[in-house]
Amino acid sequence: MKQGDDIMINGACYVRVSTDNQLENYSIEEQTDRLKAYCKAKDITIVKFYTDGGYSGGNINRPGLQQLLSDVENKSLDAVIVYKLDRLSRSQKDTLMLIEDKFLANHVDFISINENFDTSTPLGRAMIGILSVFAQLEKDQITERFTMGRIGRAKSGYFHGGGYAPTGYHYVSGNLVINEYEALQVKELYKRFANGHTVHDCWQYMNKKYASKNGVWKSETLIRNVLKNQVYIGKVKFKNAVYQGNHIPIISEALFNEVQEIFRTSRKDMDSLKRSPFKASTLLSSLVYCGKCGAKFHGEHGNYSCYSRTKGDKRYVIDPDCKNKKWKAEELDKTVIEYISGLDFSELEDLSPEEPHSLDYSHRIKEIEKQIEKLIDLYQVGNIPIHTITEKINTLTKEKSILQGTMDTINDTKPTLIDLKAAKDRFADLLLSGDLQEKRYCLTILIDKIIIDDDHVNIIIRQA
């Protein structure tokens, strides 16, 4: 670029303010004023200002910059002028690519007025490489400070979700606060999965019964993510490190660990979600343990066998020399069925029932009633279409019904003894033609574990 009285130089001015402009002190107005003054002093005619407000310099996917590059390729410019080098880019690689492959390749010079150089001089070309290194360094330092801040928040127990709250919580002023209606759903999901239902079964059930903040439990992936998220036991995670959170947990650690163990032992958590979710093919899967080495038994080729003896999966082998007896699946199933059928809970009748856990959703129910009243008022005024009003009222009414029903069910029952009796009766009804998964569900309510020691079978019933 040669300047002279008889040569008109067409310049394009590029200005940018990132999302972190409060840290940079380079407003669009300030950049624009300085660029105008510079071009006037250098007799450069400003063809156009290209502006990117609120865009990071970490990449080149910016509308203003892309338009500038398009015009550069159309050969309509002699020079590109910026206030400061990092306004063009904070990436060393991108800076050099833009200047060498885009500007200079199209015979367009580049000027940065703050650093006082331009590419029409040898010194300016040399300085480009040097200054872009420092621009990259500054970007890396900002990223490091930002990351350290996020790690600090995590160590202090704050959830980092960018304003997004996981199902079961609200995100209020940087903190997770329990959403009672959704927390109720999360608890039910964990219990159903722990009681033998697959991810697919749980998804169908939850999607049919409830509506989450996004409308529905929209996928099996969401079900799986909720079941594996440590936020529900009061933890927060950042960069693969787990810290104690300062929010209230929804799920007990015992139940969470039980669910994770099911994922590990049943292989439900497969890498490919295209495969069908695992369903146990034997009645007693996940309930039988070895009395000699403590490993789990698993069903294979019509037998229940100790993992240590079969050595089928090294993760579950405890004693490679275990010689515990294999059991024919049909024989062990028959033994357990006969035992369950002969259970008598009458001796528990005279015991004082456990004090039921009381749930109170009355505050939320009153809020729902007020919201419904407001919606009716809005309809009478005529501000909102009737189909919108109806849809919102139906959603609120459904939530109210579920909350009220949950309060009535939990607060009026003696859960332990009644659950055991109901599970036994239901299991008896299912014996002839019932679904295997339903039978397993009943047994997981009744049985804590089954311990096999050669010919000896010890069936441990859950405590009422």
Which ranges in 210-252 belong to alpha helices (H)?
220-228
DSSP state of 231: G
Long-range contacts of 314-318 (CB under 8 A, 24+ apart): 315/264, 316/265, 318/290, 318/293, 318/294
CB atoms inside a 10 Å sphere around CB 290: 22
Q: Which of 18, 112, 132, 212 is catalytic?
A: 18
First to last CA, the chain: 90
Handedness of CA 451, 455, 459, 460 (dihedral sign): negative
Q: What does the block give as tokens for 269?
A: 């958590």
Beta strands in 294-423 (DSSP E): 297-300, 303-306, 327-328
442 contact partners, CB below 8 Å, separation of at least 6: 423, 424, 426, 427, 430
Identity (one letter) of the amino acid at 30?
A: E
Can you tell me which residue has the tokens 């295997």? 436
Question: Distance of CA 276 to CAs 201, 267, 271, Å?
Answer: 11, 11, 12
19 contact partners, CB below 8 Å, separation of at least 6: 54, 55, 56
CB atoms inside a 10 Å sphere around CB 315: 8
Please give the Cα distance from 349 to 136 (Å, whole number). 75
Q: Has 27 been annotated as catalytic?
A: no
Strand, coil or helix: 60: coil
Q: Going by DSSP bridges, is the β-strand pair 79-82/109-112 parallel, antiparallel, or unpaired?
A: parallel
Q: Which residues are catalytic?
A: 18
